[in-house]
Amino acid sequence: MEPLMQENRVFNPPADFIKSAAIPGMDAYNKLCAEANSDYDGFWSRLAKENLFWKKPFTKVLDESKAPFYKWFEDGTTNASYNCLDRQVENGLGNKTAIIFEADDGSVTNISYQELLERVCKMANALRKMGIKSGDRVIIYMAMTIEGVIAMQACARIGAIHSVVFGGFSAQALRDRIIDVGAVAVITADGQFRGGKSLPLKAICDEALSTGECPNVKHVIVNKRTGSDVTMTTGRDVWMQEIVANESTTCEPEWVSAEHPLFILYTSGSTGKPKGVQHSTGGYLLWAILTMKWTFDIKPTDVFWCTADIGWVTGHSYITYGPLAVGATEIVFEGVPTYPNAGRFWDMIQKHKATIFYTAPTAIRSLIKASSNDQAVHPKSYNLSSLRLLGSVGEPINPEAWIWYYENVGGSRCPIADTFWQTETGGHMISPLPGATPMIPGSCTLPLPGIQAAIVDEAGVDVPNGHGGILVVKRPWPSMIRTIWGDPDRFVKSYFPEELGGTLYLAGDGAIRNKDTGYFTITGRIDDVLNVSGHRMGTMEIESCLVANPLVAEAAVVGRPDELTGEAICVFVVLKGGRPTGDEAKRIATELRNWVGKEIGPIAKPKDVRFGDNLPKTRSGKIMRRLLRVIAKGEEVTQDTSTLENPAILDQLKESV
């Protein structure tokens, strides 16, 4: 990533916010950090007892005996769904609205905690009746609906491990995940509504299952959403509405060990194969709850809105689990920010009186652009006075977008939590606390209490503030990744590499701490992973997809900075039939973009395609990616190219099709 534009103004949390905040002021923050430092186990033990319901209390907090396969609260038993739903109903919140669901077409459905519990129980009973049991893996391939949340919660209730696949992923990507996770069932929908269009899901699921490579999938459960035509395979496919119809509204939860896997979520790594990030039940849920309280300062009166999709970790922690586990009212939105127009978010905040709004920098940047010449969709044209707190997630927020968000959406009154975290971390790691931390745009500021984030050099040695380095976490924390599903060696190599001494968690990001404040700024990934619109994409994944195309001999993928999406995917391709030019180049570029879209999903479609007779290589045949990055940016290559075998190639690659 390009270095961020400098912005040195400090924005202090508003005085009245501090007064009622969960962590009121820096002294309160420092006190929590000190508690964690002086008695790590005691700190987490206290919080786990205060915040979770334990069927059987744990006797040991942290087990480091098989590090880095850490175990938290292992002999305690609990259930995530019970903590999210039953607990609220028992506390008298049965009639409170759990979810305000706004559909793509604007229609609104409210569902109370009591109703949500009953619907989850019915679904959980139905799943059990099909023979799905604790430890079984269930793929969820659904869009943003109440049923999506119900499907996840129902799995959690019976101890089945869900693995949600984002509804924008292709049949191939879905199939890979079904196979890798060994799923016994897939929960999907006939289709999804997005931006006024009806898009298929079941048909893609059928395609994923059509090759005979997923013999373990015995059931496909289909939520009727769009009413579009689907093919139902007898003996395998059932309608969600039909299987729940006669089920009981109560269902005894499966009491599982705190270490029982709650879910597996695939994310891109630096090799071609996505990683199945495995999360626990107890530690994960504890952190979802604590970050709802600490970062989002959640109060009983809040209307919380996280705009993420349940297909990403943000949707897991801050839609399906966190908000419900603290008994909040939350908005679940089916559609897209630009339909029917780019004022949709502001209209919904106004309509539902949202108090906390959590979205991604890419969305903010695209709405800045859309409202710059259309006052009707500008946030100033809406009443956003209900908002008291804003959040940002997924990628660095550039100071310019931060200031716009602060002034125009937050009315210069709402703190912004720039939350740095990852699929692997389960919840926020570094973020301002809205009632404590003075904010500096572009910096995610300080680690949350208990999180021992640090910056080290390539040998794992601490670097002084003001010097860039590698972001690590020095001690295990409850919501950390437990392993990579089916590949424990890769887990150790990826996250606890020996080069760093084997005990530091490697986030995969570069970072720098400010000399004076100690604030963290994330400088971007240090591996071959791109961040496009807040979505992680492995360059190798796209490369192997491209070379699988019959036209392609060789391909290299790099990122380049993009005003809107943060980073954009730029591919360099050598075709088997030689370098195309003119219209033919255009045609093949489109074909390749569509190919990647179809094989992986539309989010992986390359923005720039460049053709060459070859790729720039060293004499030993290694592709010189650093040169490709320079070319992708549209800059002149001024670096030393003396080790380059074929310098003439560089000129060919300058032209983007």
Cα distance between the two ends of the chain? 23
Site membership for ligand WT7, residue 538 (CB under 6 A): no
Who contacts 378 (Cβ-Cβ below 8 Å, separation ≥6)? Answer: 343, 371, 408
Site membership for ligand WT7, residue 531 (CB under 6 A): yes
Question: In degrees, to the nearest 5, what angle opens at C-alpha 222 toward C-alphas 221 and 227?
Answer: 165
Site membership for ligand WT7, residue 537 (CB under 6 A): no
User: What gap in Å lies between CA 141 and CA 147, rounded to an integer?
Assistant: 11
Q: Which of 311, 337, 394, 410 binds ligand WT7 (CB under 6 A)?
A: 394
Q: Give the chain's radius of gyration (CA, Å).
A: 24
For ligand WT7, the closer of residues 402 and 611 by Cβ is 402
- Span near ligand WT7 by CB under 6 A; candidates 41-49, 153-161, 388-396, 618-626: 388-396
Q: Torsions phi, psi of 308, nearest 5?
A: -70, 175
Site membership for ligand WT7, residue 536 (CB under 6 A): yes
Whether the ω angle into residue 340 lies within 30 degrees of 0, i.e. cis, is yes
Beta bridge partners of 164: 140
In the region spanning residues 479 to 518, those forming contacts with ligand WT7, defined by CB under 6 A, are 507-509
CB of 478 to ligand WT7, least distance (A): 17
- The 440-459 contact track toward ligand WT7, x by CB under 6 A, reads ----x---------------
Task: For residue 350, give the 3-state DSSP assignment.
Answer: helix
User: What gap in Å lies between CA 610 and CA 108, rounded to an integer?
Assistant: 46
User: What gap in Å lies between CA 102 and CA 612, rounded to an integer?
Assistant: 48
Residues 288/427, Cβ–Cβ less than 8 Å: yes
Consult the annotation and say whether 421 binds a ligand: yes
Q: Which of 313, 349, 414, 453 binds ligand WT7 (CB under 6 A)?
A: 313
Site membership for ligand WT7, residue 222 (CB under 6 A): no
Consult the annotation and say whether 274 binds a ligand: no
Q: Which of 267, 398, 437, 443 binds ligand WT7 (CB under 6 A)?
A: 267
Consult the annotation and say whether 395 binds a ligand: yes
For ligand WT7, the closer of residues 192 and 267 by Cβ is 267
Site membership for ligand WT7, residue 278 (CB under 6 A): no
Consult the annotation and say whether 54 binds a ligand: no
Consult the annotation and say whether 422 binds a ligand: yes
Consult the annotation and say whether 287 binds a ligand: no
Site membership for ligand WT7, residue 36 (CB under 6 A): no
Beta bridge partners of 220: 186, 237
Q: Is 612 exposed, middle or buried (0-12, 13-18, 19+ CB in 10 A)?
A: buried
# residues contacting ligand WT7 (CB under 6 A): 23
- Span near ligand WT7 by CB under 6 A; candidates 25-33, 116-124, 152-160, 308-316: 308-316
Consult the annotation and say whether 314 binds a ligand: yes
Q: Which of 116, 142, 186, 522 binds ligand WT7 (CB under 6 A)?
A: 522
Q: Which single residue is written with the structure tokens 């069932």?
A: 185
Residues 22/32, Cβ–Cβ less than 8 Å: no
- Residue positions counted in the chain: 657
Kindly state the DSSP code that residue 460 receives in the 8-state scheme.
S
For ligand WT7, the closer of residues 192 and 531 by Cβ is 531
Site membership for ligand WT7, residue 291 (CB under 6 A): no
Read off the tokens for 368.
Answer: 């800045």
**Rama region for 495: left / alpha / beta (φ>0; ψ in -120 to 50; rest):** alpha
Site membership for ligand WT7, residue 393 (CB under 6 A): yes
In the region spanning residues 400 to 429, those forming contacts with ligand WT7, defined by CB under 6 A, are 418-423
For ligand WT7, the closer of residues 536 and 617 by Cβ is 536
- In the annotated binding site, the residues are 194-197, 314, 394-396, 418-423, 509, 525, 533, 536, 547, 552
| Residues forming the site for ligand WT7 (CB under 6 A) | 267, 312-314, 393-396, 418-423, 444, 507-509, 522, 525, 531, 534, 536
